[in-house]
Chains A and B, each alone.
Chain A
Amino acid sequence: MEVIKIAGTDDTPQVTLDAKTPFMEISGRSLPEDVVAFYDPILTWLDEYAEKPLPKTVFNFKLEYFNTASSKLLLDILLKLEDIHDDGKEVLVRWHFPDDDEDMEEAGEEYADIVEVPFEQVSYSID
C-alpha cells in the first residue's frame, strides 16, 4: 500500500498513514476549502487498509482546530477504525488536546461517545 504523507498548511492538517507502521496521525488545523476532496483519499486509504490491517493500529488525532465540516469527516475516519476494531483487530484512538483547550477535550469525549472503539484522551501543554 502506498504511504500517505501530507504536509500541514494553515488550513489543512498534516497526515501520516503508513500500512507498515502501526502509527497513524492527523494533526494541525483542518478547514480545507473542499473538505470532501481533502478527506476522500484518506478514507479510501483506510478502506483499503481495513482489508489487511496490522494486528494493532494506533491512530493519533492531534488537532489544534477543525471546522464543523471537518468534524463530520473526522467521524467518518473514526467509524472506519470502529469497523477494523469490530473485525477483531486491536485499535487504539489517541485524542490529543492542549491542556487549556476544554472545547477540544470535549470534542474528543463526544467522539468517544459516538464510536465504539478504545479511546484515550491525552493532554499536552504548549508553551
Chain B
Amino acid sequence: MAEKFDKQSSLDFVYDFYVKMKKNNINLAYEGEITHQITKAFTSLAENNMTLENDPSSVQKKVFHVMVECLQNISKHAEVRINETTTTDGRGIFLVSKDDEEYNITTGNLIKSDKVNGLRKMLENINNLDPEGLKQLYKQQMREGRLSPKGGAGLGFIDIARKTGEKLVYSFLEIDEENSFFVLTSTVSRKNNLISE
C-alpha cells in the first residue's frame, strides 16, 4: 500500500496474477469486506456455474454450505480495525478453485495472535473426530452453545467437516506479535457419493 502506484508494474502484475489463477484453477478470487450481499452474490454465482457444469445436486448443496459458512466466518470473526463508533464486517481473502475432481474453497483473514492457540485446538479437535464424533459435537454445541453478539453459533467448522467428509486444512502465519493470518481450505469432492445414485 505504501509503495507508489506504478502503472507498468501493475500491468505486469495483472498478467502474472491471471496466469497464476489459471495455473491453480482458481475461478473466483476476492479480497475485501465480506458483507451479506457479497455472500449472496458469490453463492448464487457458484450455484449458476455448478448448474451449468451439471454437478450433482448433492455436490452443489455441499459447496453452497461450505461457502456460506466460510464467508460468514470471515464476516463474523475476522479482525477488523474499528474506531470507537463504527464496526464493519470482517474482511479477508476468498478463493474458489475447481478441477475435475473437487472444489476447493479457501479463506484467509487476520486474527489476533492471542486467539491462535484456541482456534488451533478447536480445529485439531474437529480433525481428530470421526463422523459420529462430529455429529455428537455438533449436537452438543447446538444445545449448549450460545449465539455470539454477531450471530455466530460456533458450529461453522464442525459443519464444514461434516458436510465435506474431509479434514480441514489450515495454517497460521504470524505477521507480528499481535497479528496472525489464518488460512483455511475446505474441499468438496465433485463425485456424487450418494449410494442411491
Contacts and interface: CB of A to CB of B under 8 A. Distances in A.
Interface of A: 10-11, 31, 33-36, 65, 67-69, 71-73, 75, 100-103, 110, 113-114
A57 to B, nearest CB: 22
B153 A68 contact: yes
Interface string B134-147: 01001100110101
Contact of A10 (B44, B156, B194): B44
Given A103-B65, A110-B139, 8 more contacts: A35-B147, A36-B151, A65-B64, A68-B158, A68-B159, A75-B142, A100-B58, A103-B163
B115 interface: no
B155 A68 contact: yes
Interface in B166-197: 194, 196-197
A101 B39 CA distance: 23
Contacts of A31: 39, 68
Contacts of A110: 135, 138-139
B22 interface: no
20 contacts: A10-B44, A31-B39, A36-B151, A65-B61, A67-B69, A69-B72, A69-B147, A69-B152, A72-B142, A72-B147, A72-B153, A100-B194, A100-B196, A100-B197, A101-B58, A102-B194, A103-B61, A110-B135, A114-B142, A114-B143
Contact of B153 (A10, A33, A71): A71
B40 interface: yes
Interface residues of B, number: 31
Nearest to B146: A72
Contacts, number: 63
A70 to B, nearest CB: 8
A69 B196 contact: no
B88 interface: no
Contacts of A68: 69, 153, 155-156, 158-159
A119 to B, nearest CB: 15
B157 to A, nearest CB: 9
Contacts of A33: 36
A34 B151 contact: yes
Contacts of A100: 57-58, 194, 196-197
A69 B58 contact: no
A27 B188 CA distance: 26
B68 A113 contact: no
Contacts of A102: 58, 194
A103 B156 CA distance: 15
Given A100-B58, A103-B163, A71 B147 contact: no
